[in-house]
Amino acid sequence: MKTIINLLFCFICFFTSAQEYIDLEKTEKYKCTWSNSLPETSNLDNLKKYDDLKIQEIFNELSYNSNIEFNYPQGGCQHRAHIMSMLLENKLNIEHSKVWLFAPIDLEFDKKETLFIEDKNQFTNDSNIKWNYHVAPILINSTNDTLVIDPSLDRKKPIKIQEWLNKIGNSEISKYTFINPQNYFFYVKKKDDKFTNVISGCFYKYIDYTKNSFTLERGLALNDLAIEYYDKYIKDLQSDNKNKLEDLKLIFGNASTIGNIFDFKNGNYSNDVKDAINRNDKIVREAHKSYNERLEYWKKIIIELDK
């Protein structure tokens, strides 16, 4: 009897902690009301199926031969996911979708919980990288498994969706959905006339203003920049110059900060960051040049993929 009770308890724990799938087109709370921004939920049954060997070949091409920087997970996953999607569709001719995972902070106005993963580069002070959401391309194999292509979490192979979810902290209290891959990013709701983190259920494609502003190319260039300077300066400082290490982590370790410094150039960062920039002026000026070079590289890649 005790064994039966224990088994029942484990069964209940498994299902109460399991991730929840949401269909944004059918869930009233997140149903998009803009006809030109519907999220287009993917019907995975309609996707072409590929054998595991073919999917591994596809994965290797994206993970090792695409020049996408996967070692900076705090950088915009929507950029990595979308450039992989463009390569899958326009270069490799592979049918696919995207899986989006939303933390409670993106689902409810009164929630603060985020997703998180280990910071293997030790860029952050608490050894964790926090995400409000995460996204990656998915393929279907010949045995109908949903396989996620996410080299930022597993550099060597595609992984089944449950394994992907298990690699991400707080995924058990989050919700995921499958959206057609042409959708680049999502709109958020307003509260008290201010934008919030909470998703509206509406998505937009990489067209018009977003494309003309090179949003994707800029995001990819920032990821490149962060790891270039991690490899060039920061990695060797881990057991050496602690003051300089902390300075460079402040400058390059946070995705929002690095964007404000090198992309928006808006001065919207703390006094600690400003002081770190002043103390490392030569490196920062050098990094501005590196960022512009990577931006031009990705502009050329996107032009080629759009042909």
The CATH number that applies at residue 139 is 3.10.620
Is residue 182 within 8 A of residue 41, CB to CB? The reply is no
Same domain, 122 and 151: yes
- The answer to whether position 140 is within a domain reads yes
Last residue of a domain, one of 206, 227, 257: 206
pLDDT the model gives residue 18: 66
For the question of whether the overall pTM of this predicted structure is more than 0.85, the answer is yes
Same domain, 70 and 109: yes
- The answer to whether position 79 is within a domain reads yes
Same domain, 175 and 266: no
Indicate the number of domains in the chain.
Answer: 2
What is the span of the domain harbouring residue 298?
A: 215-306
Same domain, 201 and 219: no
Same domain, 165 and 233: no
Same domain, 270 and 164: no
Which of 8-17, 179-188, 241-250 shows the lowest per-residue confidence on average (mean pLDDT)?
8-17
- In the predicted model, what is the mean pLDDT of the chain? 92
Same domain, 96 and 192: yes
**In this prediction, what percent of the chain has a pLDDT beyond 70?**
94
Residue 12 confidence (pLDDT) above 80? no
How far apart (Å, rounded) are the C-alpha atoms in residues 75 and 170? 19
- The answer to whether position 295 is within a domain reads yes
Same domain, 146 and 190: yes
- The answer to whether position 4 is within a domain reads no
- The answer to whether position 21 is within a domain reads yes
Grade residue 290 by pLDDT with cuts at 50, 70 and 90.
very high
- The answer to whether position 48 is within a domain reads yes
Same domain, 238 and 140: no
- pLDDT tens sequence across 133-143: 999 999 999 99
Helix axes 242-252, 281-306, angle to 10 degrees: 30
Same domain, 261 and 183: no
- The answer to whether position 22 is within a domain reads yes
How far apart (Å, rounded) are the C-alpha atoms in residues 177 and 295? 31
- pLDDT tens sequence across 104-142: 999 999 999 999 999 999 988 788 999 999 999 999 999
Last residue of a domain, one of 173, 206, 239: 206
Last residue of a domain, one of 206, 232, 263: 206
Q: Are strands 97-102 and 183-191 parallel, antiparallel or unpaired?
A: unpaired
pLDDT the model gives residue 16: 36
- The answer to whether position 250 is within a domain reads yes
* DSSP bridge partners of 148: 138, 159
Same domain, 160 and 291: no
Same domain, 124 and 241: no
